[in-house]
């Protein structure tokens, strides 16, 4: 049971991820960046969703989501800003728009 403190009184509790959703308004890409030798280059996409600023790191040079699309994601708030979790940014699929 080493490392499992969630069931104990006063034990470690992981903070739940925050969820975001809204219309993608703008994207600015910065990079490529390399932190250390051997690390593949990555890009920082600074995006605005419903007036809020977020940062998303990706190995892709371009964010493949069109402006005006409704997106959803998980993120965390830090003193440096809001950071979207890796591989959590996606387009919201609305069944009413599928046209069956």
pTM attached to this predicted model: 0.76
Q: What is the pLDDT of residues 37-85, one digit of tens each?
A: 888 889 999 999 999 999 999 999 999 999 999 999 999 998 999 999 9
State the virtual CA torsion across 41, 58, 49, 84 in degrees, nearest 10: -110
Q: With H, G, I as helix, E, B as strand and everything else as coil, classify residue 4.
A: coil
8 vs 17 pLDDT, higher one: 17
Q: What is the mean pLDDT of residues 8-26?
A: 81
Q: What is the pLDDT of residues 88-97, one digit of tens each?
A: 999 998 888 7
pLDDT at residue 100, as a whole number: 65
């Amino acid at each position: 049971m080493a490392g499992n403190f969630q069931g104990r009184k006063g034990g470690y509790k992981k903070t739940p991820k925050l969820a975001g959703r809204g219309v993608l308004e703008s994207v600015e890409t910065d990079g490529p960046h390399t932190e250390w030798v051997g690390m593949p280059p990555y890009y920082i996409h600074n995006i605005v969703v419903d007036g809020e600023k977020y940062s998303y790191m990706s190995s892709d040079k371009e964010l493949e989501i069109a402006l005006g699309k409704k997106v959803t994601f998980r993120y965390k708030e830090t003193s440096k800003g809001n950071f979207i979790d890796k591989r959590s940014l996606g387009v919201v699929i609305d069944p009413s728009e599928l046209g069956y």
